[in-house]
Structure 1
Amino acid sequence: MKLAALETFVVGNPPPGFGGRYFVFVKLTTACGIVGYGEIYAAAFSPFVVEQMARDVFARYLDGTDPFRSEAFLRRAYGSGFSQRPDPSMAGVVSGLEMAMWDIVGKALDKPVHALLGGQVHERLRSYTYLYPARDDDPATFYLDADRAAETAERYVAQGFTAVKFDPAGPYSVYDGRQPDLETLERCDAFCRKIREAVGAKADLLFGTHGQFTASGALRLARRLEAYDPLWFEEPVPPDAPEEMAKVARGTSIPVAAGERLCTKWEFSRVLTSGAASILQMNLGRVGGLLEAKKIAGMAEAFHAQIAPHLYCGPIVAAANIQLAACSPNFLILESIGTFDGFHARLLETPIAWENGYVMTPTAPGLGVELDENVARAHPYEGHGLHLDMAQTPVDPTRDARFGVPQP
């Protein structure tokens, strides 16, 4: 069996746009006609540049090769250009292509990917969602409104969710970390208090940040949050210094979760050895592939740490996350985009099976999903923005009070 062709899809995510501005999908086809799908989560360049990266990597390392040889592919790409170090862009491209290789392998063997990575451990997978605004909500104010957050959390819990995530700490900047201002501390306290009052003991609170703070600033915030017993405090400091994050982990009773911006086992090993986080949030579209993620999950197991695969992209990464979670003994919880409905469901020929707070472990071969190529082609991305943006100037609490307002 040999890989023979690559096709890419840059798909615009229509309003409300949960999961980012666009999704980058890849399709590998073997000479004998087996198709595999993957998704790249690399946000540092235009998606059209990422497309070209994928084509270059395919031509150099995959065209005419055996799709079963994912380990060799990772090593060749990892050392590409005499680099041999974690590179988020290369890791994102490798992730999408390697994901598609596993999809092909599973289909060739008539087995789900989780059966080939150790076998099913979990029959169903607990999931959580962000608190997303309703159609009539203004996102710029919704994400700062504790009362609306509490109402939304109550609605999600009524659907069956047993955990909800929210991030009221305000904008994040390329100049972070910083100290939280007093208004931010009060707002975060109010969010936790009101959501806890709304859901009681029916749901865990997952407190999200995006590396906004210094270690000392994160600890000031953590002291406010401890009374509400969150399941985690997510990425409290920027991801480039796990030793600083470890100061937060040592200084609070709240478990620290991190990893959505990290790639390869080498970056995650620093998190584990420094004690920076006890919950690892690898994103399967960036981490370096399914096999790399499985290795990281095994490393985490040796440190008595758990995994909670991250998702702020499309449904193919979601499917890969599900395969990893299903075969990982130390799986904790899975991120979903709502109930995997809306555009995420439309992009798949058969939507992901979500029921009463859980994702059902799939039994179909490969990743267990098929991209609806007609829907993907009907929604080309025509914008210029990146998947996600950070503020380009230092955050000013007065000027930037409304979350989500573009910065100059």
Structure 2
Amino acid sequence: MRITEVEPILLRGEQGYGSPASGAEATDNGDWQLLVRVGTDEGLEGWADVETLAPAAVAIIAGQGMGTLGFHTLGHILVGEDPLDVERLWDKLYVGSAYYGRRGIAMQCISAIDNCLWSIRAQATGLSLAQLLGGRRRDRVMAYASTLFRSTPEGMAEAAQGYVDKGFRAVKFGWGVFGEDPGRDRELVAAARDTLGPDRHLLVDPGWYPAGWTKPGPMRNRREALALCDWLGDYDVGWVEDFIHPERFDEYAEVRAMSPVPIAAGEQLATAWEFERFISEGCVDIVQPDLSRCGGLTVAVQIARMAEKANVDVVPHSWLTHLLTAYSLQFIATLPRAKFVEFNVSQSRLTGGIAIAPFKLDADGMVAIPDGPGIGAGVDTDFIAAHRVSA
């Protein structure tokens, strides 16, 4: 079998990223979305989503490369190769794009391509991806509703009640207005905790951008980061996530050593080398590789081994389409311990229309992990065709 095509597919939507004051649902990136399709001469193909600067990523995959090694486009590197040789191809992609890549958009594109190759490999063997990655340790996992902070306590209470009514046993609120007003921050978290009650998990992602994403402001210093963890502990928060600049490993380790709340992070990191440092330096209790950013499943498998050795939990970050949810579920099925799967309830009309997936909550707030060949989800090709635009 040979790879015949590596196709970036750029989609355009009409919604913006944001959250309301009321309990109405928030919206993730509804303006642009990139998909990657890897085709083969035997008709098997893999699909993956990728969270990146989508218009720029198209050129990295299928634009005009240069003759010198390290400046090649990713599609050029792969066409003609055996798609089942996944790990070797990861190395080839990394070296072939090293001068303009190694992190950022190039690594995010490599992540999507790597996921596609694993999907093709699973289809070719007739196995589920989890079986291919080492075997299923579980058939289901608890889902947490992943959404944005609303801007009023009343909106937070209304939103939280909506997730309770839908059967979620865990909810994560993130970003939004959080960080603009410390007094309001506490009111928002208190409203969520009061509504969810003591028997449901409340997770908080304050964001590491200055004052969230709504307006510029100074980043938290170490004392402020620790103070944030201290008061979040008053509300029995299950973790505080990704709230320190991602380059400040020393700060993560220092705050984690003193925090009463578990620390979760890693969605901004990429490659096994970076995660090895992050885990070994004691930065987190829960490491959160994003399969669309970290380097794909090839890297995620290595991260899982590191985390097991360090006795750190792994909960993949997966706030994108249900294609990413599907890949994450297959990966989660193989882990020694599995707390949650992130379930994006804030999908825009664009991100929500791409995947065809069977994911539903059961009576315990759990999501079943598909066990058929491949990843357990597909794509709506008619929807994709209707939203596709020229690069």
| Bin for the TM-score computed over the shorter chain | 0.7 to 0.9
3-state SS of 1:228 partner: coil
Matched, 1:68 2:76: no
1:360 to 345, 365, 368: 368
Alpha-carbon separation, structure 1, partners of 2:118 and 2:175: 38
Alpha-carbon separation, structure 1, partners of 2:13 and 2:339: 28
Query: Are residues 68 and 246 of structure 1, via their aligned partners in 2, closer, same or farther at CA, if it must alter by over 3 Å?
Result: same
- Structure 1 residue aligned with 2:243: 236
1:67-86 aligned within 5 A: 67-83=83-99, 86=102
- Structure 2 residue aligned with 1:375: 383
Tell me if the contact between 1:284 and 1:293 (Cα under 8 Å) persists in the aligned partners.
yes
AA aligned opposite 1:371: V
Matched, 1:114 2:122: no
- Structure 1 residue aligned with 2:206: 209
- Structure 1 residue aligned with 2:69: none
Cα deviations across residues 12-61 of structure 1 (Å, max 9, x unaligned)? 34547633132211111111111111222223xxx222012122544332
Query: Are residues 158 and 59 of structure 1, via their aligned partners in 2, closer, same or farther at CA, if it must alter by over 3 Å?
Result: closer
Query: Are residues 242 and 352 of structure 1, via their aligned partners in 2, closer, same or farther at CA, if it must alter by over 3 Å?
Result: same
Cα deviations across residues 155-214 of structure 1 (Å, max 9, x unaligned)? 20121111111136737xxxxxxxx6xx72222221222221111123111111221422
Alpha-carbon separation, structure 2, partners of 1:329 and 1:14: 41
Tell me if the contact between 1:143 and 1:167 (Cα under 8 Å) persists in the aligned partners.
no
2:28 to 13, 19, 25: 19
1:128 to 144, 147, 153: 144
- Structure 2 residue aligned with 1:155: 162
Alpha-carbon separation, structure 2, partners of 1:84 and 1:302: 33
3-state SS of 2:181 partner: helix
Alpha-carbon separation, structure 2, partners of 1:118 and 1:368: 17
Tell me if the contact between 1:150 and 1:198 (Cα under 8 Å) persists in the aligned partners.
yes
Q: CA deviation at 1:341?
A: 9.8
Matched, 1:36 2:46: yes
Q: CA RMSD in A?
A: 2.4
Structure 2 residue ranges without an equivalent (≥5): 18-26, 64-72, 210-219
TM-score, length-scaled by structure 1: 0.82
Query: Are residues 123 and 378 of structure 1, via their aligned partners in 2, closer, same or farther at CA, if it must alter by over 3 Å?
Result: same
Structure 1 residue ranges without an equivalent (≥5): 133-141, 172-179, 384-408
3-state SS of 1:79 partner: helix
Alpha-carbon separation, structure 1, partners of 2:100 and 2:106: 11
Alpha-carbon separation, structure 1, partners of 2:389 and 2:101: 31
3-state SS of 1:97 partner: helix
- Structure 1 residue aligned with 2:299: 292
1:279-318 aligned within 5 A: 279-318=286-325
Q: CA deviation at 1:74?
A: 1.5
Alpha-carbon separation, structure 1, partners of 2:75 and 2:140: 38
Alpha-carbon separation, structure 2, partners of 1:342 and 1:378: 12
Q: CA deviation at 1:88?
A: 2.2
1:51-62 aligned within 5 A: 51-55=58-62, 57-62=73-78
Q: CA deviation at 1:340?
A: 7.5
Tell me if the contact between 1:77 and 1:90 (Cα under 8 Å) persists in the aligned partners.
no
Identity, in percent, stands at 26
1:198-277 aligned within 5 A: 198-212=195-209, 213-277=220-284
- Structure 2 residue aligned with 1:186: 183
Query: Are residues 204 and 219 of structure 1, via their aligned partners in 2, closer, same or farther at CA, if it must alter by over 3 Å?
Result: same
Q: CA deviation at 1:306?
A: 0.8
Cα deviations across residues 112-140 of structure 1 (Å, max 9, x unaligned)? 111100111121021112345xxxxxxxx
TM-score, length-scaled by structure 2: 0.85
Cα deviations across residues 307-353 of structure 1 (Å, max 9, x unaligned)? 11112322222211111111111322111112979655532344434
Matched, 1:50 2:40: no
- Structure 1 residue aligned with 2:67: none
Question: Mean Cα displacement is larger for which, 12-21 or 211-220?
Answer: 12-21
Tell me if the contact between 1:345 and 1:352 (Cα under 8 Å) persists in the aligned partners.
no
Tell me if the contact between 2:15 and 2:348 (Cα under 8 Å) persists in the aligned partners.
no
Tell me if the contact between 1:114 and 1:323 (Cα under 8 Å) persists in the aligned partners.
yes
Alpha-carbon separation, structure 1, partners of 2:388 and 2:124: 30
Tell me if the contact between 2:289 and 2:300 (Cα under 8 Å) persists in the aligned partners.
yes
Consecutive aligned runs of 4 or more in structure 1 exceeding 6 Å deviation: 339-342
